[in-house]
Chains A and B, each alone.
Chain A
Amino acid sequence: MPRVLLIEDDPSIREGVGLGLRRRGHEVRAADTGEAGLALMAGFHPDLVLLDLMLPGINGVQVCRRIRETSEVPIIMLTARGDDFDIVVGLEAGADDYIVKPARTEIIEARIKAVLRRLSDPGGRPGVEQHGELTVDRAGLTVAKNGERVPLAPSEIKLLLHLTASPEQVFSRQQLLEYVWEHSYHADARLVDACVRRLRNKIEDPGGSPRYIQTVRGFGYRFGPLGPR
């Protein structure tokens, strides 16, 4: 069962969520500040981080950035609806998903499972694919550009694998939310946009318009066509 690091300052949520998850078999360590959470990272090696955005001391967004400096561990933010700005900033900082508080344990667990689930093969060929300078290893879940490995967070690699499985096919944001994040159709499309931005920063050539992940105005995103260079 996955090891979950819960960083949450409010004791009732910390205990409630911890209790609920432990009963479902998760190994949960809880921290009440960002500093304590970061300190636990090294020794605990969590499979996933549940991160409250509103923390005393260094806030959730900063914790998220610090974690991303060294690790591609899945991060799910705990937020309140209405903290819209924080959600965007958190997603930009590298969070894979978010949960709006208050939430039932079954919802929290469903999100955890969705983020941790290896992408079920969406019809793509197994093995290594070459797209321009990108090497995508579907089995090993690694991506390299010009032979150099690109570290990708779980949502990023899932999105890339999904798009490259059907090159040049246009997916709407809502479809991507369903397929990649396993959210309901009407979830927050900013998840997709933030993830695309992070992915582009990592795999696109700096400057110039995006080549791998292209925006189709009025519809969504597609992978390629790469065209001649």
Chain B
Amino acid sequence: MTLAGRAAYRDELTQIAEYDPRILCLEADLGGKGHPFAVNHPDRFFNVGIAEGAMVDMAAGLAEGGYRPFVSTFAPFAVLRAAESMKLALGYLGAGITVVAPYAGVSGGWFGTTHHCLEDFAVVRAIPGVTVAAPYGEAEMRAVVRRAAVTGEPHYIRTGRNAAPLSLPWVGPEPPVVNWDVHGAEPDRTCLVSVGEVGTELCLAVRRSLPALPHAHLCYLDQPHLERAAAELADHYDRFVVVEEHRQAGGIASALALLLPGREVSSVNAGESWPVHGGSHEEVLDELGLNEAAVWAALAPHEVPPHGAPAAPQDKEDTE
């Protein structure tokens, strides 16, 4: 059993704080009762109340004072409500703040549109100097949190709500720029590129049906990391399908398309509509058209789903 991303973050940060007195934990009333950091390090835990902008700016003052503050609130409130604070504090000032943002994408399911965030990569990746990560599973989350704590550099870490997938294995102290998942893969096939929890889950599902397809998982998504990833991708394949729980505008696929001229880059994303209905995370994703069938549609005509895989959606006939 593994921990969900936000639970893994809280546990890892609590452990790091045992030996690093510079670590602080700030929450804006969404940390929940019994937060392990609050229990173990109450003098370094601050629930500032519902004050996201002030929390990020305060963290800048704390960082300048020699501390390494980690602040957390839901992705829409961190990235959109406190966008200017992130620009100025993490970007312009370069303060060593880490923003951990659960509820990214539509992981809030029935919580509704105000609690979804399909725009965070577009905003945060546009702020130079911020390391952007979307870890998949507990091990990746722990590694990213450790990196943020050790380097003291500005980080944005996106995660979901309660999904607790098993991280892909890797060799080394931290997730590589490209984590290749290519057991059984064949050359000259279309390469799946996965981003975040949903993107990785969908790519893994497709590969279970067709192991011949190579899969490149990306954990770090800021521009310097993506430039290195693009160079590595281009060394191996010519066609890519990027899967991400984000809008197309400002997403990872569009960034990779610019970094991979002459290569074919397709995007499977959350589209441009508003997720206005309730339901589980998966049901909201289905409504947005972000599912396994959409990945197969993007892989066509080069790759054909085997019998039994979810069919690619057909264009609806005009019945009017």
Asked if A and B bind, the verdict is no
